[in-house]
Chain A
Amino acid sequence: MAAPGAAATDLEVVRGKRAALFFAAVVIVLGLPLWWKTTETYRAPLPYSQISGLNSLQLRLMVPVTVVFTQESVPLDDQEKLPFTVVHEREIPLKYKLKIKCRFQKAYRRALDHEEEALSLGSIQEAETMFAEPSEQAEGSLTVYVISEHSSLLPQDMMSYIGPKRMAVVRGIMHREAFNIIGRRVIQVAQAMSLTEDVLAAALADHLPEDKWSSDKRRPLKSSLGYEITFSLLNPDPKSHDVHWDIEGAVRRYVQPFLNALRAVGNFSVDSQILYYAVLGVNPRFDPASSSYYLAAHSLPHVINPVESRLGSSAASLYPVLNFLLYVPELAHSPLYIQDKDGAPVATNAFHSPRWGGIMVYNVDPKAYNGSELPVRVKVDMVRVMEVFLAQLRLLFGIAQPQLPPKCLFSGPKSEGIMSWELDRLLWARSVENLATATTTLTSLAQLLGKISNIVIKDDVASEVYRAVAAVQKAAEELASGHLASAFVASQEAVTSSERAFFDPSLLHLLYFPDDQKFAIYIPLFLPMAVPILLSLFKIFLETRKSWKKPEKID
């Protein structure tokens, strides 16, 4: 009677064991993956290795320079060697992870007939008008003409000339080493017209460690797809001054040509407003000697803040705003002058604030008060004002004065206020800045995503990241092959895509889901379920071990 009972019990025990093992198997094979899959945050794959590769990116900025030799510029046997190409490459020392190399690719060739003809003219201006007619040169490329040593095209004491277009003239030399000497002169001129350290340092000011570059180089606006320019006339005392300004005409005549020339850099929109009762934040000091009021240089930073709240941000776009304020001081504080650090009045009576804009103080002619009752009608001399504002605009866009080589004749900008090669310099600087910004954004995004595993990475965020990486690489390639315009476009795309990925709101969805709350939810379910399984597994394990040991004992 005991035997069948025991057999039945044994059967039961084996069945129980199997059931427990099956439970454990289901939990491990089905339950765990299911739990893992359903609670997993979706993270699309990202090109992490490529992003970290961007940090050691080598930027090679290629400047194609065409060097054209006229007859009698170099010895005859040297002329025989033409045409050929010389590459001059040097690294730009910056304390930055991006290694930037500047590469001047000089293509030497002989002058064509019409070029000979133009360069044999009497003055450089005439020659320039001859050259201006043929097709425009590509952005970023330069043409340097080498003329004979004794040519009267330039004044005798001048060695070279830099024109408003992408063109320069250098004197040749009759010498055994003519190509070397001329090559050095050409490099000097080409550097002045294209890339120098300070241009790049200014562009990378935000990314460089604080040092001598930083403080005064942070003047230019950050690169953006577009800019809003707002001219504001501040009239704090409408009871005394009835100020009129012909801003429509001034913008049409002076600002639009400049902005049209800068069209490649971004979209611009211009507007103007008049603000009444808008006062500066600082009370001017009275100077009894000249019976005038003055704003000292150290108080200028405090001038802007109270005004700014009145200016109103641009409601209609997200582009950075450049403010140009024309301040007509109150009657009680007229005339008002701005002093520089040494206490001397500033000739233009204006100052600018980096990345913000400029302020000009416009004093009303004291004669206007004689005999007429208040308010005095004031008509603003827009030429005077626009000269200052345009100069400030150039500074705020980082169009600095070039460092000219010695004995160089320099023609000023034409009516639009900017030279073609200055625009190229701006494009180079902006491209490098964009690339640095995009790289930094991508790197920090990758770091952030690596550090916080809760962040959801959606497919569209991932595709933006891929696009940004591709655009950075494309921009670097285009820069290396000397296609400045397309490199700039690609760098803009890189910045836009990387920022869009970085600021995508979907990244934040599951960020605040702390671990202790997760466990508080899991424990009531998982603990009572896991304990029996673990216990029975443990028991099975013990029994199995016992049954393995038993046969040995019998032996």
Chain B
Amino acid sequence: MAATAPLSLLVLLLLGPGVWGQTEPPRDSLREELVITPLPSGDVAATFQFRTRWDSELQREEVSHYRLFPKALGQLISKYSLRELHLSLTQGFWRTRYWGTPFLQAPSGAELWAWFQDTVTDVDKSWKELSNVLSGIFCASLNFIDSTNTVTPSASFKPLGLANGTDHSFLRYAVLPREVVCTENLTPWKKLLPCSSKAGLSVLLKADRLFHTSYHSQAVHIRPVCRDARCASISWELRQTLSVVFDAFVTGQGKQDWSLFRMFSRTLTEPCPLASESRVYVDVTNYSQDNETLEVYPPPLTTYQDVVLGTRKTYAVYDLLDTAVINNSRSLNLQLKWKRPPGNGYIHYQPAQDRMQPHLLEMLIQLPASSVTKVSIQFERALLKWTEYTPDPNHGFYVSPSVLSALVPSEVAAQPVDWEESPLFNTLFPASDSSSYFVRLYTEPLLVSLPTPDFSMPYNVICLTCTVVAVCYGSFYNLLTRTFQIEEPSKGGLARRLANLIRRARGVPPL
């Protein structure tokens, strides 16, 4: 786009003014919502949903005009005659045991499923093209979806939206568990939002925080819904959802208090002017009966109660379109403070940086008497860079021993002694208190063998086979071309004469 030129209009086309009809009311609407849920494990889950609804029959119109609905996805629907499209990109795994049931479920990696209209003749071809186009739009490796990882489920994955007839031959489903989700997938996802990331809840979507989490799942759901109660015509609904789970320990230095700024490094400043609804919900359920263990700041104007996922929940509601919510400082920084910190102890964790710095995990635990405490750390075996592999015979990789430092109660109360006077063996660790003594224990170092790819295997095989073939061939060749005859013993050879000489000297008959 180097050269541009101001347009000097040589031809001013004279267009007659047409009859201007009254513009219709906007046929599309946007609702946005953020739910913040403190999880039982102490982590915090944030779930964004952006819903664009468009009262239009996308398939019918040749020339398409888009307002809030993104053009890229709208074109997809009409070109590939889609009825429903569900794409999710997830990094991490939702730990139901610690975090409870999620609002939006998604498998690790990329999941794509789509229902096609029954007018589509070659579903597999459309599916292939669709996955390729989506891979371009979302910068994901969806182009690796092919017949080897595509299935047509016949019982699960019913249409989520309006559907007449469910012929499962128009459904395709594929998962790419290996897909790594990162910033380059988030950026195109954010671009589809009408307010981009400039206003409203989407301001909080800052990539470096969102990917610094234990769980990240973004999704796009497109489906037809009823336009009104009579359901005579359809509307298209696009839901963009994003769930993240913030690790409270890592980000909060061991405290479980959180605020929008601490989680997202942003605060809410203004609502998206295009949204007809823009709300933040904070889950305050489990704690409200329990004598005010936590407080939310600013105090909510309204609360909302409902049965969600089988339990009764209470939410503090903040309506961004309500001017009172975004206060005089022109920003909303939701904060949650625990009045009585749940549990005690101290955990310090400093994650490793590859080739720079090791992991450090420190825990202060009070151990009950005669009990067994297990501390286990999960790790993944990773492949090294190919130049970093050690030569074939090696021990493996050493993990340095763990350290256990403890103050053990003493059986006998010791007399306070003069530190300078007492024997040296007793005074390395200063005892603060005569009733206990200090102990530091080390565990064994751990030996981990990392997977080693066999770099030379193919060449070895080639060399070995060739050598075997060559040896066989050589023997055959010699057998066939050489002449074999019995050698008459002759008086020859230096060795023989030498041997006879010695024999003669010894008085033994010569050979």
Contact across chains for A524 and B63 when beta carbons are under 8 A apart: no
With both chains docked as a complex, state the minimum distance between the C-beta of B99 and any C-beta of chain A, in angstroms. 34
The answer to whether residues A351 and B7 also contact, given A246-B20, A309-B191, A529-B470 and a CB cut-off of 8 A, is yes
Which A residues touch B23, using CB under 8 A?
244, 246, 379
Q: Which of the candidate stretches A104-112, A115-123, A381-389 sits at the interface with the other chain? A: A381-389
Contact at B473–A529, with CB atoms within 8 Å? yes
Q: Complex: how many Å from CA A15 to CA B467?
A: 27
Asked if B3 and A19 make an inter-chain contact with CB atoms under 8 angstroms apart, the answer reads no
CB atoms of B133 and A316 under 8 A apart:
yes
From known contacts A352-B4, A524-B470, infer whether A23 and B20 are also in contact, taking CB-CB under 8 Å. Answer: no
- Asked if A271 and B64 sit within 8 Å, CB to CB, the answer is yes
* Segment 178-210 of B: residues with Cβ below 8 Å from A: 191, 194-196, 198-199
Q: Is B503 an interface residue (CB 8 A)?
A: no
**CB proximity of B273 to chain A, nearest CB, Å:** 5
B3→A9 contact, CB < 8 A: no
How many whole Å from B251's CB to the nearest CB in chain A?
29
- The answer, yes or no, to whether A543 is at the interface (CB within 8 Å) is no
Task: Establish whether residues A346 and B7, one from each chain, have CB atoms under 8 Å apart when the complex forms.
Answer: yes
Task: Give B187's nearest chain A residue, CB to CB.
Answer: A309
Residues of B near A352 (CB, < 8 A) are 4-5, 7
A382 to B63, CA, bound (A): 17
**A residues less than 8 Å from B191 (CB atoms):** 309-310, 312
B229 at interface, CB cutoff 8 A: no
The answer to whether A350 touches B7, judged by C-beta atoms less than 8 angstroms apart, is: yes
Known: A19-B481, A312-B70, A520-B459. A525 touches B63 (CB 8 A): no
In the complex, the answer to whether A246 meets B21 with C-beta atoms within 8 Å is yes
Report A406-427 residues with CB < 8 Å from chain B CB. Answer: 412-413, 417
Assembled-state Cα–Cα distance A386/B17 (Å): 11
> How would residues 366 to 396 of chain A score, 1 for a CB under 8 Å from any chain B CB and 0 otherwise?
0000000001000100110011101110110
Decide if A273 touches B65 in the complex (CB within 8 Å).
yes
B480 in the interface, Cβ–Cβ < 8 Å? yes
A375 with B273: in contact, given A16-B482, A391-B13, A395-B7 (CB under 8 Å)? yes
Query: Contact between B79 and A524 (Cβ–Cβ < 8 Å)?
Result: no
Please tell me if the beta carbons of B1 and A305 are within 8 angstroms of each other in the complex: yes
Which parts of B2-34 form the interface with A (CB within 8 Å)? 2-18, 20-21, 23
A9 touches B483 (CB 8 A): yes
Report whether A528 and B18 are in contact in the complex, using a CB–CB cutoff of 8 Å. Answer: no
A17-35: CB near B (< 8 Å → 1, else 0) gives 1011001000000000000
Contact B9–A347 (Cβ < 8 Å): yes
CA distance A19 to B67 in the complex (A): 86
On chain A, the residues within 8 Å of B6 by CB distance are: 297, 300, 338-341, 346, 350-351
Contact A528 B474 (CB under 8 A): yes
B160 within 8 A of A: no
Within 8 A of A (CB), among B203-234: none
Closest Cβ of chain A to B462, distance in Å, is 5
Closest-by-CB residue of B relative to A2 is B488
Q: Does B75 contact A (CB under 8 A)?
A: yes
B463 in the interface, Cβ–Cβ < 8 Å? yes
Which among B2, B5, B484 has the highest number of chain A CB atoms within 10 Å? B5
**Is B466 an interface position by the 8 A CB rule?**
yes
Would A316 and B7 count as touching, CB distance under 8 A? no
How extensive is the interface on chain B, given as a class? 35 or more
Indicate if A444 sits at the interface (CB-CB under 8 A). no
Interchain nearest-CB distance for A10 vs B (Å) = 9
A12 within 8 A of B: yes
Check if A42 is an interface residue, CB within 8 A of chain B. Answer: no
A90 at the interface (CB under 8 A from B): no
Rounded to whole angstroms, the CA-CA distance of A351 and B79 in the bound complex is: 32
Residue in A274, A305, A390 with the greatest tally of chain B CB atoms within 10 Å = A274
Binary flags per residue of A78-100, CB closer than 8 Å to B gives 1, else 0:
00000000000000000000000
Least CB separation from B137: chain A residue: A315
B66–A23 CB distance below 8 A: no
Q: For B480, what are the chain A residues with a Cβ–Cβ distance below 8 Å?
A: 16, 19-20, 23
B478 at interface, CB cutoff 8 A: yes
In angstroms, how far is the closest chain B Cβ from the Cβ of A173?
A: 33
- Give the total of A residues in contact with B, Cβ under 8 Å: 92
Q: How far is the CA of A412 from the CA of B15 in the complex (A)?
A: 13
- Closest Cβ of chain B to A502, distance in Å, is 21
Question: Which of A45-53, A248-256, A428-436 faces chain B?
Answer: A248-256
Q: Report if A314 contacts B (CB, 8 A).
A: yes
Contact B63 A271 (CB under 8 A): yes
Does B76 lie at the interface of the complex (its beta carbon under 8 Å from any beta carbon of A)? yes
Chain B residue at minimal CB-CB distance from A521 = B462
Mask: chain A, 208-230; 1 = CB below 8 Å from B; 0 = not? 00000001101100000000001
Q: Determine which of A244, A269, A412, A525 lies in contact with B469 in the assembled complex, contact meaning CB atoms within 8 Å.
A: A525
- Comparing A61-69, A145-153, A353-361, A485-493, the segment that makes contact with chain B is A353-361
B403 touches A (CB below 8 Å): no
Contact across chains for B1 and A304 when beta carbons are under 8 A apart: yes
Assess whether A238 is in contact with B3, with CB atoms less than 8 Å apart. no
The answer to the question of B136 belonging to the interface, with a C-beta cut-off of 8 Å to chain A, is yes
Which residues of chain B have C-beta atoms less than 8 A from A532's C-beta?
474, 477-478, 481
Q: Are A315 and B467 in contact, with the CB atoms below 8 A? A: no
Q: How far is the CB of B136 from chain A (nearest CB, A)?
A: 7
| Alpha-carbon gap, A533 to B474, bound state (A) | 10
Task: Say yes or no: A524-B75 contact (C-beta < 8 A), given A417-B13, A532-B478.
Answer: no
Contact with A along B457-494 (1 / 0, CB 8 A): 00100110011011101100110111111000000000
Complex contacts, A529 vs chain B, CB 8 Å: 469-470, 473-474
For B62, the chain A residues whose CB sits under 8 A away are 269
Q: Which residues of B contact A308 (CB under 8 A)?
A: 1
Chain A residue with Cβ nearest B19:
A249
**B72 close to chain A: CB less than 8 A:** yes
Query: In the bound complex, what is the Cα–Cα distance between A272 and B71 (angstroms)?
Result: 8
Given known contacts A19-B481, A246-B21, is B65 in contact with A272 (CB within 8 Å)?
yes
- B478 CB contacts on chain A under 8 angstroms: 532
Asked if A55 lies at the interface with its beta carbon under 8 angstroms from chain B, I say no
- Provide the bound-state CA to CA distance between A353 and B13, in Å: 20
Within 8 A of A (CB), among B41-100: 62-68, 70-73, 75-76, 78-79
Is B274 in the interface zone, CB < 8 Å from A?
yes
Residues facing A in B108-138 (CB within 8 A) are 133, 136-137
Contact pick for B63, options A219, A251, A310, A315, CB 8 Å: A251
**A391 near B67 (CB under 8 angstroms)?**
no
Closest residue to B482 on the A side, CB-wise? A16
Contacts A273-B66, A297-B6, A352-B5 given; does A23 touch B477 at CB 8 Å: yes
CB-CB under 8 A from A8, the residues of chain B are 485
Interface flag for A277 (CB, 8 Å): yes
Q: Which residues of B contact A219 (CB under 8 A)?
A: 5
- By the criterion CB–CB under 8 Å, are A274 and B7 in contact? no
Kindly supply a per-residue 1/0 record for chain A positions 239-283, scoring 1 wherever the CB is within 8 Å of any chain B CB and 0 otherwise. Answer: 100001011111111100000000000000111111011100000
A536 contacts the other chain (CB 8 A) = yes
6 nearest interchain CB pairs?
A528-B470, A524-B466, A525-B466, A277-B198, A316-B79, A12-B483
**Residues of B bordering A, CB below 8 Å:** 1-18, 20-21, 23, 62-68, 70-73, 75-76, 78-79, 133, 136-137, 191, 194-196, 198-199, 270, 273-274, 459, 462-463, 466-467, 469-471, 473-474, 477-478, 480-485
A interface residues (Cβ-Cβ under 8 A, vs B)? 5, 8-9, 12-13, 15-17, 19-20, 23, 215-216, 218-219, 230, 238-239, 244, 246-254, 269-274, 276-278, 297, 300-301, 303-305, 308-310, 312-317, 338-341, 346-348, 350-354, 356, 358, 375, 379, 382-383, 386-388, 390-392, 394-395, 401, 412-413, 417, 520-521, 524-525, 527-529, 532-533, 536
Other A-B contacts than A16-B480, A312-B72, 7 sampled, CB-CB below 8 A, are A17-B481, A253-B18, A276-B274, A315-B76, A350-B6, A351-B7, A532-B478
Q: List 21 A-B contacts (CB under 8 A).
A: A9-B483, A16-B482, A23-B481, A218-B3, A249-B21, A253-B15, A276-B194, A276-B195, A301-B4, A308-B1, A312-B71, A315-B75, A316-B78, A316-B133, A340-B8, A348-B7, A350-B7, A387-B9, A528-B466, A529-B470, A529-B473
